[in-house]
Structure 1
């Protein structure tokens, strides 16, 4: 165990070594850098030892491919996982430096957007904490997703230059760079017996340069690796063009290549945007799979036994080209016959589906796919040809409509979810309802062919971050009540139920929540200038802005509540602070209009003295892990109000629940499992159920315009969008109005509005009984342990990947 004396000595040596300054003369940024460097020394030996141990054990490892890794900041986590955070904090406070200032010096990596990226990080965290061999492959986006700026209420995007001061946690491994090929053409070379070899010529080469980041396990010796790829040009500056004065032309090739690893999710509403996004996805899978096979061969393991040593996991459809890319390398570079390469590929690869939205199930135009990836196109075409043949001959599928539905290539497009299903041995959903819908409806045509491949793995969260680190007050109380076992076995949280009728415990829970709300109120004022009441209900909805997540339903209810208060300012309601956060995709017009609507309503409501500050509305810009870490411990109400059947799982619902928030929810995604764990009396439910949604889809009987015309409250609320009463043009939110009234309200916002209004009234009534509310809060925390990502990973490890822990888990 590291002592304080050793920490102090080594830290002050580090300051002199890097900067030639002592503690007093060094800046906050220098103190931060020296502390990170010291943490790297403490963890580096473990990182090296982990690699050696995993290689020498000969045990199987999983490689997790994801376009997103929403890591959050590293310093605090690594200090806590090394069990030296308290030592460091004490030392700096003794020297007059606030630990928060050091933590604020770190730029948050812009490597993810929402739940998909945070889940990927949770899985890496759990793999390391369980001492399982598991590593991540992603892209090192130099400008991240984007920095969200709110300008006159509207979202504007700026580059997220998170690497402006470098990233001290990464290690550039230029000597391990790989080549990724784009474009060109394929030569057929006969080798006898109607067989050919294939040669790729006239292609453009892009270097994939790896940057490694250590992923520490919680207070054990295990350190796995997140390997991110940066794109670099094989060709240097074009001096001929530079000499002619064509400066832009001289850098053209370099800049074109660098664009591959510049921005997460480029706007794909244009051809160039689509092309870049396809390049990114292939760049990720090609570099990652080449790296896996290179390492496999370095350890002198036969490629024919790849599935015994390697599991490749495809996180959503973005890395689905892992299937044809693995086939390409096995056949073209190592001379495997098709059948053997296919057997290896299917046994090695597994796939997680994350969405039921048709528009999110990726497809690529055949022309673009073929032009950019000519050999991958050929292999994809052959996979499809053989699959369709098997459907007819082996599975007796003769119906042309069904064959087309199953086909990988149709309507001049390559369907990535289809290739991910056909080319893997496991397809899982991420919540029970989601997995059932995949099997019974959305992917039933595939389930009939491969029933043994489909399974469920409900998502999980890192309880070490969202409880132990984010909510230290609640964690301290829990430790006093039930001991420390829950820190490594979060199911132990259920023991809190013994205190659900203890007045002293319930009072302390309420006090902890209030302190968190005071902190959050300070943060809100600092970032927005808005003053909020910490005694009000903190009602929060923080997630990617999308119509199916129904931030619109939330703000329409706020508009209704405001109109009601305007008519009756003396109405007796518990004050409410509505907090929104989230980014809209740059090309998603309606989502960006919803952000503007929220901010427009906020401006009016927050400045109207006649309603006596009974409601406030806040939009927190640039939502990321750090913002979430501030929000979640302070929430009284967690809004999980997606249109039923549209949310695959959700993980923010689990984070809020773990921190004692009461979930206001539809029976969608993992909300169902939260209800089952906590009990229906400790969650507030509303809205259409899955069978009702599907019946409305089947019959086409939902008429939003008729509902609008027949319901006075709905009509008056919706009319507020175009009445000018929020001090904007009557046409400002016409597009939102039209989606609800003119174009059918496809996410059932109006259909669920009255039941949502009832549920919000229930929240108001429940909150007025302080003891009952605190007991509900305790029960939510007590029931949350089952949603730890550790348990999710244990199920993946046993049922899909066939990997195991390499330690007894006792740590050091």
Structure 2
């Protein structure tokens, strides 16, 4: 039976905690249990207690939210609006307790109620609002915006179901529906009064108004209503609480009484079913035409709702539409929200009767665009028939934007029609398509890459023509991650050691970690550092045992590669090395090499057959290696299922070696590499994405570098890359591939991995085989370094010490100063 506060609280009888703050909070939890959950303590489940605790924390946040909103309404402020199709925010309870400074208070309060805070934290579902790095970045940026006291709104989609939960059955990925909202979301405030209509299909009609101006009216085939669902975003130890506003789709009329009355029961609710599909699931498979149509509709839906909301806020503040860009700075997080350029033009020209030139000036001053990829196939395009059938009026506006823009190109580069064709917003080759990256670039005043190398390559490759025409438009803002979640929350023992050693100010000024350099050779500090890392590894080993049944040795080198499964991220390069090491250990059991636990994690897109085959290869290797007594436990291979933010809390602090081995020139930045570095892992990697800057910051001596550089990759391909030559020249590589081909890791089935082997031997688009020998040699240097515990500890400390650049706070300061021109606004928390 649960304990409750003393009788004079009117909630029951029990033992009260000692602290006054904890006692008051204890009362709030019980009040929310009864008044919001309709439960009394004797019958409450752990989930009931979790919900009551979450509501109590939310109440504290909403007081700050109200103060923030009131201040923004009354003062002359510029609001940063972050438009993103994903916000991978992670569990909220622990993060909000941390930001509010309430961890001890909450722990004491729930303990007095007979509950365990850690167990309640473990109950919380991972919000299914994002997929990978792009969504995690957006969430980090929202955290930093609030912490830096910048007025901000995040705009996205309130997905009912996330991408999927991953299970590994018989060695293969199985996708399970992510029902993250099944038991409710205590952080969400649904606002039915904040809703907007979004048009789809139909036709346009033109007319001349009384003043002789041409006006276009969109007559849609159907409309969908977008309803705001808000989540508070609390800053760290400040009173700023911003909002993440996500849009839920609903039918304009959810029930057709005439259809129902005439016996057409299914048709009566058809509109509701179709309309609510828009926010039903994150990123449907976009291969079939229906999937593509839904994804484009999703993007337009959330962008239109968001811009209508911003225009409403401007009107409520009394700001004329002509000053819209002075009130809002809107960042397009990749191409998913780039239709916003056409939609803001439509709203200004068609709805607010602004002239084209004035509207275009407002649009360009409002938007900035973040590019996240150098892979041409990943730059979004939409076929014109699909686009026209779904969004006829926005397409007309895109045509007009393109016509005027290409006139500018011709004036800048007379006679260069090839350039005009390359820069057009419409791709005329192989089926006409709208180029969304081009639309975002033309409609924005700034375009940024997300790492120094990526930004340079962006200007040299996919955006070269645009950079030559408007070089001042392009800049670089290296990504960052929040140290609150990925160090303080996930690695509290290390955070405590940092506080004691260099003071607590590093939490909001990560550059202060540089002070750790003075302790890099301090033996007592080494001992404390290694003790914390050992505890983290022991905890991860216990989780691995619980999830997979695999026993791993916490004293082994934890070699970890967790990220989305993709050929360019080259998990299969790692797998080939593991096979070669296993074969060497089989031949020479006493080989002088570090004992290792190789840990993989990540999801493969449901339709990405090669990525799913890579998972099957890893699990197949694990089956063989982990059951071979001849290895004597010196190697273990683990595939950690369902990797997400929540699971990352246990993984990042336990890593000894961070695998960042993508083909040079393919990874835009990476953020997992930063989380590992912050927690003291050493990186083995190529000169790709933010690895370049990580190596610069940590020092070459504290980074394990291998592989071709981006220019060398281009040279190899231009010379006519022949992967089979690398196989012939390397006996270990040949043996590893032969072992796969013979069915050693597929239970004797020689066909399972044939598509993967054929791809490597005949094409190898990401130069896995070309980099294999150098990767193996680099891994030998890792083993040598591991044997010197003192030197390895020093390298680990230096990585954390030099990770200050990779805070999302630094990145947001750069966005504010260089792109958005926004300033902090201090929030004073008054009485409710």
When the two structures are superposed, what TM-score results if normalisation uses the length of structure 2?
Answer: 0.95
Asked if 2 retains the 8 angstrom alpha-carbon contact of 1:328 and 1:376, the reply is yes
Q: Which secondary structure does the structure 1 equivalent of 2:226 belong to? A: strand
Rounded Cα–Cα distance in structure 1 between residues aligned with 2:538 and 2:153: 39
Matched residue, 1:7: 25
Alpha-carbon offset, residue 26 of structure 1? 2.1
Report the equivalent of 1:404: 421
CA offsets, 1:454-504, max 9 Å, x none? 000000000011111111111111111111121221111110111111111
Q: Identify the residue that residue 720 of structure 2 maps to in structure 1.
A: 701
Tell me the distance in 2 between the aligned counterparts of 1:397 and 1:571.
Answer: 67
Q: CA deviation at 1:265?
A: 1.1
Q: Which whole-Å CA distance do the structure 2 matches of 1:202 and 1:134 have between them?
A: 32
Is 1:451 matched up with 2:471?
yes
Q: Which residue of 1 aligns with 2:517?
A: 497
Once the two structures are TM-superposed, the CA of residue 17 in structure 1 deviates from its matched residue by 2.6
Q: Which residue of 2 aligns with 1:724?
A: 743
Alpha-carbon distance in 2 for matches of 1:20, 1:231: 29
Consecutive unaligned residues in structure 2, runs of 5 or more: 1-18
What does residue 153 of structure 2 align with? Answer: 135
Structure 1 residue matching 2:469: 3-state secondary structure:
coil
Q: Is the 8 A contact 2:369 2:448 kept in 1?
A: yes
- Indicate the residue corresponding to 1:76 in structure 2: 94
Aligned match of 2:345: 327
> What residue number does 1:365 align with?
383
Aligned with residue 745 of structure 1, among 764, 773, 794: 764
Q: Report the Cα distance in structure 1 between the residues aligned to 2:533 and 2:304, rounded to whole angstroms.
A: 48
Is 1:29 paired with 2:47? Answer: yes
Structure 1 portions without partners, runs of 5+: none
1:463 corresponds in structure 2 to 483
Rounded to whole Å, the distance in 2 between the matches of 1:765 and 1:436 is: 35
Displacement, 1:124? Answer: 0.6
Task: Specify which of 600, 616, 622 is matched with residue 602 of structure 1.
Answer: 622
- Counterpart residue number, 2:785: 766
Question: 1:384 — aligned with what?
Answer: 402
Partner of 2:59: 41
Asked if structure 2 preserves the Cα contact closer than 8 Å seen for 1:2 and 1:84, the reply is no
Distance in 2 (CA, whole Å) between partners of 1:247 and 1:9 is 49
Shift of residue 694, structure 1, vs aligned partner? 2.2
Over residues 487-528 of structure 1, what are the superposed CA-to-partner deviations in whole Å (9 max), with x where a residue is unaligned?
221111110111111111112111110100000000001111
Deviations 1:393-451 (CA, angstroms, capped at 9, x unpaired): 2x124222211111110220000000111110000000000011112233111101111
Q: Distance in 1 between matches of 2:575 and 2:104?
A: 42
Q: Summarize the Cα distance change of 1:634–1:69 in structure 2 as closer, same or farther, 3 Å threshold.
A: same
DSSP-derived class of the 1:319 partner: coil
Find the residue that maps to 2:740 and give its secondary structure.
coil
Q: Does 1:689 align with 2:706?
A: no
User: Is residue 200–residue 220 contact of structure 2 (8 Å, CA) maintained in 1?
Assistant: no
Q: What's the CA shift for 1:104?
A: 1.8
Superposition deviation, residue 243 in structure 1: 5.9
1-side partners of 2:669 and 2:603: how far apart?
A: 19
The residue matched to 2:677 in structure 1 has which SS?
A: helix
Q: Is the 8 A contact 1:506 1:775 kept in 2?
A: yes
Alignment of structure 1 residues 222-233 onto 2, 5 Å: 222-233=240-251
Find the aligned partners of 1:741 and 1:448 in 2 and give their Cα distance: 38
1:805 to 2:824 alignment: yes
1:423 to 440, 443, 451: 443
Q: Is the 8 A contact 1:128 1:222 kept in 2?
A: yes
Post-superposition CA distance 1:592-620 (Å, at most 9, x none): 11111111111111111121111111111
Q: Is the 8 A contact 1:220 1:809 kept in 2?
A: no
C-alpha displacement of 1:91: 3.0
Cα distance between partner residues in 2 of 1:91 and 1:5: 6
CA contact (8 A) 1:268 1:274 kept: yes
Match of 1:52 among 70, 92, 95: 70
SS of the equivalent of 1:227 reads strand
Which of 672, 679, 686 is the equivalent residue of 1:652?
672
Q: What is the CA distance between 1:720 and its match in structure 2?
A: 2.2
Any residues of structure 2 matched to 1:518-529 within 5 Å, and which?
Answer: 518-529=538-549
From 774, 799, 818, the counterpart of 1:755? 774
SS in 2 for 1:174: strand
**CA contact under 8 A between 2:153 and 2:245: conserved in structure 1?**
yes
Pairing 1:542–2:562 present = yes
| 1:216 equivalent in alignment to 2:202 | no
Instruction: Find the partner of 2:162 among 129, 144, 150.
Output: 144
Aligned to 1:633: 653
Contact 2:490–2:650 under 8 Å retained in 1: yes
Counterpart of 2:8 in structure 1 is: none
Tell me what 2:733 maps to. 714
What does 1:79-98 align with in structure 2 at a 5 Å threshold?
Answer: 79-98=97-116
CA distance in 2, matches of 1:753, 1:157: 31
SS in 1 for 2:805: helix
1:486 paired residue among 506, 527, 550: 506
CA contact (8 A) 1:215 1:226 kept: yes
- Give the Cα–Cα distance (whole angstroms) in 1 for the partners of residues 154 and 720 of structure 2: 46
> How far apart are residue 709 of structure 1 and its match?
2.8
Provide the rounded CA distance (Å) in 1 between the counterparts of 2:240 and 2:528.
Answer: 36
Distance 1:651 1:16 in 2: 42
Cα deviation per residue 1:105-164 (whole Å; 9 max; x = unaligned)?
A: 211100011110010011110000011011100001101111112221111212100000
Would you say the 8 A contact 2:508–2:809 is kept in 1? no
Match of 1:275 in 2: 293
1:810 offset after TM fit, Å?
12
Match of 1:437 among 452, 457, 462: 457
Aligned with residue 307 of structure 1, among 325, 328, 335: 325
Deviation for aligned residue 1:187: 0.5
| Aligned-pair CA distance for 1:24 | 4.5
* Secondary structure of residue in 2 paired with 1:274: helix
Whole-angstrom CA distance in 1 between matches of 2:600 and 2:825: 43
- The reply to whether residue 781 of structure 1 matches residue 794 of structure 2 is no
Residue range with higher mean Cα deviation, 482-491 or 445-454: 482-491
Change (3 A) 1:426 1:2: farther
Closer/same/farther in 2, CA of residues 642 and 397 from structure 1, 3 Å limit: farther
Cα distance change on mapping 1:573 and 1:798 into 2, 3 Å? same
Distance 2:800 2:378 in 1: 33
Report the Cα offset of residue 563 of structure 1: 1.6
Check conservation: 2:410, 2:416, Cα contact below 8 A. no
Change (3 A) 1:452 1:811: farther
Whole-angstrom distance in 2 between the partners of 1:202 and 1:26: 50
CA-CA distance at 1:807 after TM superposition = 2.2
Q: What is the CA-CA distance between 1:14 and the residue it aligns to?
A: 2.8
TM-score when normalising by structure 1: 0.97
Q: Summarize the Cα distance change of 1:597–1:341 in structure 2 as closer, same or farther, 3 Å threshold.
A: same
CA distance in structure 1 between the aligned counterparts of 2:91 and 2:74, rounded to whole angstroms: 32
Q: Distance in 1 between matches of 2:161 and 2:110?
A: 32
Match of 2:207 in 1: 189
Is residue 189–residue 230 contact of structure 2 (8 Å, CA) maintained in 1?
A: yes
2-side partners of 1:265 and 1:233: how far apart?
20
- 1:578 paired with 2:598, answer yes
From the superposition, tell whether residues 476 and 441 of structure 1 become closer, same or farther in structure 2 (CA, over 3 Å).
same
Once the two structures are TM-superposed, the CA of residue 315 in structure 1 deviates from its matched residue by 0.3
